[in-house]
Every structure is written in C-alpha cells, then in structure tokens.
Structure 1
C-alpha cells in the first residue's frame, strides 16, 4: 500500500522536477520571459488532476474508509523564495557547490501528526562523484568542521530507519555541525477539493 501511495504521488512531482531541470528563462528583447517548455494547458492540467482522482485515489482509500488521500500541497511563494535563497547561500559557502536540481521526496507524517497524511519534502541535489561521471546526483546537507563548510551527501550523515523507528539521526536543523537543507511543513489540502474555482 505504501508503494502505491508513493507511485501515485510520483506523477505530480515529475512535472515539478522537470521545472527544476529547465535552464533559467531569459527575457526577450521586449523584457518579457517566454513560457518555459514545461507549461501545460489548463484543461490538460484539469484532465490529469481528474484522472488521478478517478484512477488513483480509490486505490489509496480502498482499504481504509477513514483515509482521505492527499490531493495537493501548497508552498507559500515567499517561503519558497526564501528557501531557494537559503540553499544557494549555503551551497556557495560550501566550496561554491553547484546545486543541480531540487529533489522532491514522498513522505508520510507520523500517525500522531497531521493525521498521518502523505506529504513531500524538498532537498537540493548536487553532482555525485567527479564531474562528468555517470553517477546520479545526490541530496546533500552542509557539514561544518573547524570553520570550513562542505556539501556532504545525506547518505553519509543519517542512520537508516530501523523497524522500531523511522526517525533519522538528524532530528534537528543543526546537529553535530550539520545544517540540514531538507524542507517540509507545507499545508495540505484535504480531498476532495470543494472550491469550484479550483481544479476538480
């Protein structure tokens, strides 16, 4: 069931991830920015959202009548801009690490928080291995030792969850000289969306 939930959310994140891979748009001679290639038609977006509600949501809710599938998450625009500025600042101070993208992870709150709903968290990624290697990019955090900051793959900083707990070793934003760059705490919209002015 957990796998199905994650696969269901994958569809939404692909669009966002593609946006992170786009090169920044440059204004035209008239000063306006042309629409990026990832922009889709409003009706296409509605069809995709409706298809998710028709094909995926019933699967997620089938075995638990009390479960309501998360249909959307909102990120405050200024908070997102602040987050992007923060991770750029931290990467710059860590040997001018180049952020190659923003990865979106599917996650779930503990049952005692937000009704145990599905959520996402964000983390910047950097190129792994030597430049030009075919190794996939990895999420990173910033580790500071003796006044020197370095971008470190998160896999080198966390403990894998055990069967008794799913808490990672890094439970505070800064711990043992490590600055986490993972972001969450986005408001979610309970289904179904009842606003007639929004996607149905």
Structure 2
C-alpha cells in the first residue's frame, strides 16, 4: 500500500503541473491583445483649451448672426402689424439662438454604422481609406420626413462619410449599380457629381449607372441645379445625430 502511494504521488504532482500549464496557456489565448492609443489622442487640458477657444472665437459670431436674422424677422412682423401689440411677437423677439456645441450618437449606432459601410464597401470590392466628418448646417425648416425633434433648424451639425483612395487622392463615394453587381460611385469633396467617368470610376464601374449619397435630402432640397437623376441609390453618409447647445445649468 505504501509502495502504491509512493508511485501515485509523483503522477498526481505531474498531472497538477500539466493542468496548471494548460490553464495558463488557455487563459493567455483568451486574453485580448492590448490596444494602443491612437497618435491622434489629445490630453484633456488640450481638449478643454480647444473647446474654450471655440466658445470665445466662434460662438459669439454665430450667436450674433442668428439673432440678427431673428431680429430682422421680428421687425418685419412689427411693420406688417402696423405697430399693433402682439404678446407672441414680443416673447419671440427676446429669445436667443442656441448655438450647438456637440453632436452625439448612441455608441451602438456608431458600431452599426461602421459595420454597415464596411459591408457595403466589400460588396463593391473597394476598401475604405478614411472617414470624414463634414461641418453642416440645417435650413430654417423641418428637413427630414420624420420631423425629428432633435434636429434644430439653423443649427450646425455633422455629416459622416467614408472615402476610398484612387490614384493619389481620396474620394467620397456611395454605392450604385445593380443588386448582382454593385459599384462604388465617386464624388467630389463637396458631394458633387464627377462627370469624367475615367476619373470617377473604380475598376468595376466604368459606364455604370449613378446612385445617391443622400436620398433623404433630395425630396426637400430647393436647389434647382441639383441633378435628381444622379441622386438615387444607396447612401453611406450619416447625419441625424443629437445636437445640443451648451449645458446652461453647469457651473
């Protein structure tokens, strides 16, 4: 019995050692690699300085311009009413324009958007080279079909749109073609049509039909020069974020 115990003891020890190594290797395999911070990360104090500079150098200009429009509209109403007193007009005349300070998206929406544009680019056999954030501005009216309440008339916003690289430069693009053969249709830097297809075509899209970048916008645009036949297809440009003025209740 003592001999059996002596024989089993080294075996049990060896099994424990092997199991420990196996557990460590399995744990190492499951641990994700460390993600390094991008070079574009800025320090918090730098972010604060840039935010404050915008507050000092841009917000007052926007505020003054938009308030002047409201004031002109108010004065016009006064003339139309021939100095008639109107409580509604008086209350609107003192209302100041809220200057947007940021645009936000739900984190899941951002992840969904990135997955979506990668999916559509893969269908067209192209690779996304960058993601552009365009400054934009809403007109003084309801701009989208759903009348989204978070989209404030005249406030600044952002357009997110991917680019691909062709030759020595990058282009905005959207997806055109057919369901069986989709292509990436290139655009100018201001979302305009590229007439020269030798410049604007990818390897799979010569002499193909055009598609749209912003199908939701074409039904409401007032630009008579816009080629509506060109703007019809699958857009990769995202907007409709939650824009917000500064939090007035913060100290």
TM-score range, shorter chain: 0.5 to 0.7
Relative distance call for 1:48 and 1:146 in structure 2 (3 A) is: closer
Q: Deviations over 1:72-127 (max 9, x none)?
A: 11021110110110110010011x20100111122111211322211111111011
User: Alpha-carbon deviation of 1:169?
Assistant: 5.2
* Deviation of the 1:194 alpha carbon: 3.2
Consecutive unaligned residues of structure 2, counting only runs of 5 or more, are: 1-30, 68-95, 143-151, 188-192, 195-209
1:2-81 to 2 correspondence within 5 Å? 31-65=33-67, 66-81=96-111
Indicate yes or no: 2:151 matched with 1:151: no
Q: Which whole-Å CA distance do the structure 2 matches of 1:115 and 1:186 have between them? A: 13
Per the normalisation by structure 1, the TM-score is 0.67
Once the two structures are superposed, residues 109-161 of structure 1 have per-residue CA deviations (whole angstroms, 9 ceiling, x without a partner) of: 12113222111111110113xxxx32x211101002362100001324569x9
Name the residue aligned to 1:185.
240
What's the TM-score once normalised by structure 2's chain length?
0.55
Work out the number of aligned pairs and report it: 155
Structure number with higher helix proportion: 2
Q: How does 1:35-184 map to 2 (within 5 A)?
A: 35-65=37-67, 66-94=96-124, 96-113=125-142, 114-128=152-166, 133-134=167-168, 136-145=169-178, 147-154=180-187, 155-156=193-194, 157=210, 165-166=222-223, 175=232, 178-184=233-239
Q: Residue 194 of structure 1 corresponds to which residue in structure 2? A: 248
Runs of at least 5 residues in structure 1 that lack an aligned partner in the other structure: 1-28
